[in-house]
């Protein structure tokens, strides 16, 4: 990002009759550090519709104010629809009204009790939503004087920039001092996305790729604990000082960089900032001809990683050898761009549309570079996710076959790519319902990907569902250390605690995930499941009602309403589950029937679920909703056929 990048811009959509409430909300969001666009800002003589359309396209988030008046407004419906299509919709409810059809799967922040306080939790929740859809945090309007060196995200390299004036082409300039940390604890570092100071979009890819290359290269050294990309990228444009960023990420050091193209050469300035003091401890400047940006990217990553490891070494010996390049990558800019877009959509984990859009981007990446192993692995995960959550019964076999083929292709291209082995295990387990077959690729992924949070999280979830709770806990603990600001990792941590039947412990991680991404699916249901196990039925019911995933929501309501003594409501929820989703949710039907004390139809539903490849069966070994079936010989046989020991 350049020095003149604007703060996140919010398009505020509201009905004219709600103007007073919109004015208060706009003021609160501006106080929180956002620029707010409203139709009152249209310049005199500007074409009204054209100005609105332009602002919708250019904003970073669309905050839609639902009310009893706005749900009938064609303007608001059009603006909300465009925000949804652009994947930057953040809904709020002014008076508690239910949003119109097409928008009810999105969680709306309730402002019905908000009285205008700028520091209220409601405003903080909206800010989190804006940051989630835009990938950018708000910038404070006024900086507070600090008692420590105020190296902001945009000024972390100020000292290194001064050194740059003395550097000739190809000459490295080094500065370093004593580093914190000792042999008892790996040194921790976060690679903040490098800033592109050039106008060229090509250099944007170079900067993005260089950050990832450095992160992956450093993570392959056991002496370093490297923060994952999902957490680090949240500080791409942050105005927080270095000490604050390091504290939020829980790391000793920040690795920052700036990229600037000068003619046919690229200049990269790299700096290591001490997270405890905010001072620069080490820096280097590279100037290289830009004939092949990916070759330059790999060269710089290797040189920087080698230099860092020499200075991070604390045992007096030589640091471990640094790998030359990340496995499974590409040299094609078009492929890389499509891959980045697909990964962002996949990480959103919002709905079927976003999952299918992610798949389309991975397909585009592979079309541009058929040997792009990471894209093949990502394609396999997308296919599996679509099959698991949205696939029609008749399409499941084809989807899973394609997913396995993509994962195996990724391994064939890049045998050392941990993500590819992890994905194969994930697909065999969730797609083919074969826990035994998934064991080997998962173990291999654990060996190769000890520094990769997503690989560790998948391994942890697999281990937990197989009853290997110690292995699950150890892997999940490390995943959280490496990716503490990733909502998907926190949701996974909650699932692992729940699998171990630590109900209370499972709630906080799921809530943390929702705070980071209010649209996160299956998190409300996970909280509700734990609350139900704790006997807190009214709270559980409220969480189920807030769950956007229909299958999890209806199954949970059918169970909790029966426990609350409302048989009519329970039957109604179950009827909607069966009528609306049918054989796609046989596992959830079995959960309901087991909880209702109807073991025979529950077993029949599970058998039918296995026949049709229902991925819900991966939960069967330790799902408390199936506890009434544990002593049934038919259920024991089913678990064995699923590969559970």
In this structure, CATH architecture of domain 158-326: 3-Layer(aba) Sandwich (3.40)
Alpha carbons 38 and 14: distance in angstroms, whole number: 9
Alpha carbons 520 and 107: distance in angstroms, whole number: 9
Tokens of 38: 């409203």
Alpha carbons 587 and 617: distance in angstroms, whole number: 7
Alpha carbons 70 and 105: distance in angstroms, whole number: 18
Contact 304, 214 (CB under 8 A): yes
Point out the residues of the chain with pLDDT beneath 50. Answer: 1-5, 41-48, 141-184, 314-325
What is this structure's pTM? 0.60
pLDDT in tens, 592-618: 999 999 999 999 999 999 998 888 999
In this structure, CATH architecture of domain 9-134: 3-Layer(aba) Sandwich (3.40)
Alpha carbons 423 and 448: distance in angstroms, whole number: 13
Q: What pLDDT shows up at residue 55?
A: 76
pLDDT in tens, 254-308: 888 888 877 777 788 888 888 887 777 777 777 777 666 666 666 766 776 666 6
Q: What pLDDT shows up at residue 305?
A: 66
Q: What pLDDT shows up at residue 310?
A: 66
Q: What pLDDT shows up at residue 243?
A: 84
Residue 244's CB is within 10 A of a number of other CB atoms, namely 19
Q: Do domains 9-134 and 158-326 have the same CATH topology?
A: yes
Domain residue spans in the chain?
Answer: 9-134, 158-326, 537-645
């Amino acid at each position: 990002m350049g020095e003149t990048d604007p703060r996140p811009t919010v398009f505020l959509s509201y009905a004219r009759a709600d103007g007073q409430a919109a004015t208060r909300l706009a003021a609160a969001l501006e106080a929180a550090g956002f620029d707010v666009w409203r139709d009152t800002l249209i310049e005199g003589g500007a074409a009204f519709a054209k100005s609105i359309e332009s602002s919708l396209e250019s904003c970073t988030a669309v905050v839609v104010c639902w009310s009893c008046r706005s749900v009938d407004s064609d303007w608001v419906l059009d603006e909300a629809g465009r925000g949804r299509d652009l994947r930057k919709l953040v809904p709020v409810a002014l008076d508690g009204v239910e949003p119109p059809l097409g928008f009810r799967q999105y969680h709306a922040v309730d402002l019905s009790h908000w009285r205008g306080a700028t520091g209220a939790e409601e405003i903080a929740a909206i800010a989190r939503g804006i940051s989630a859809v835009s990938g950018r945090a708000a910038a404070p309007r006024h900086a507070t004087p600090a008692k420590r060196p105020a190296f902001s995200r945009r000024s972390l390299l100020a000292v290194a920039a001064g050194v740059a004036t003395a550097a000739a082409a190809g000459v490295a300039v080094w500065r370093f001092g004593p580093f914190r940390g000792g042999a008892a604890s790996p040194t921790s570092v976060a690679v903040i996305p490098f800033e592109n100071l050039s106008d060229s979009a090509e250099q944007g890819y170079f900067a993005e790729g260089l950050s990832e290359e450095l992160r992956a290269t450093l993570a392959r050294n056991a002496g370093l604990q490297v923060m994952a990309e999902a957490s680090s990228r949240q500080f791409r444009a942050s105005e927080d000082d270095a000490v604050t960023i390091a504290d939020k990420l829980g790391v000793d050091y920040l690795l920052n960089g700036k990229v600037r193209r000068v003619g046919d050469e690229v200049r990269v300035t790299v700096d290591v900032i001490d997270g405890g003091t905010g001072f620069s401890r080490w820096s280097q400047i590279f100037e290289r001809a830009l004939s092949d940006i990916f070759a330059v990217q790999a060269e710089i990553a290797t040189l920087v990683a080698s230099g860092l490891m020499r200075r991070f070494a604390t045992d007096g010996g030589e640091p471990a050898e640094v790998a030359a390049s990340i496995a499974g990558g590409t040299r094609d800019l078009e492929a890389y761009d499509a891959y980045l877009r697909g990964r962002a959509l996949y990480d959103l984990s919002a709905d079927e549309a976003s999952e299918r859009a992610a798949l389309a981007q991975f397909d585009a990446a592979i079309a541009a570079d058929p040997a792009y192993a990471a894209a093949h692995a990502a394609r396999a995960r997308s296919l599996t996710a679509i099959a698991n959550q949205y696939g029609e019964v008749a399409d499941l076999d084809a989807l899973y076959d394609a997913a396995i083929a993509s994962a195996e292709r990724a391994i064939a291209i890049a045998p050392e790519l941990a993500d590819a082995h992890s994905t194969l295990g994930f697909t065999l387990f969730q797609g083919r319902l074969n826990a035994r077959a998934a064991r080997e690729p998962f173990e291999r992924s654990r060996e190769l990907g000890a520094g990769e949070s997503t690989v560790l999280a998948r391994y942890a979830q697999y281990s937990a569902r197989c009853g290997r709770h110690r292995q699950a806990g150890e892997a999940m603990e490390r995943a959280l250390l490496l990716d503490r600001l990733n909502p998907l990792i926190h949701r996974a941590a909650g699932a692992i605690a729940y699998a171990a039947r630590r109900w209370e412990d499972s709630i906080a991680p799921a809530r943390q995930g929702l705070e980071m991404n209010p649209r996160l699916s299956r998190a409300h249901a996970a909280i509700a499941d734990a609350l139900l196990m704790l006997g807190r039925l009214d709270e559980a019911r409220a969480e189920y009602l807030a769950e956007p995933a229909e299958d999890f929501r209806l199954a949970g309501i059918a169970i909790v309403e029966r426990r609350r003594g409302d048989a009519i409501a329970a039957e109604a929820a179950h009827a909607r589950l069966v009528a609306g989703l049918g054989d796609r949710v046989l596992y959830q039907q079995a959960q309901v029937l087991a909880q209702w004390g109807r073991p025979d139809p529950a077993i029949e539903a599970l058998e039918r679920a296995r026949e049709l490849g229902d991925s819900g069966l991966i939960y069967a070994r330790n799902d408390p909703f199936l506890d009434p079936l544990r002593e049934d010989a038919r259920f024991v046989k089913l678990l064995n056929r699923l590969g559970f020991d």
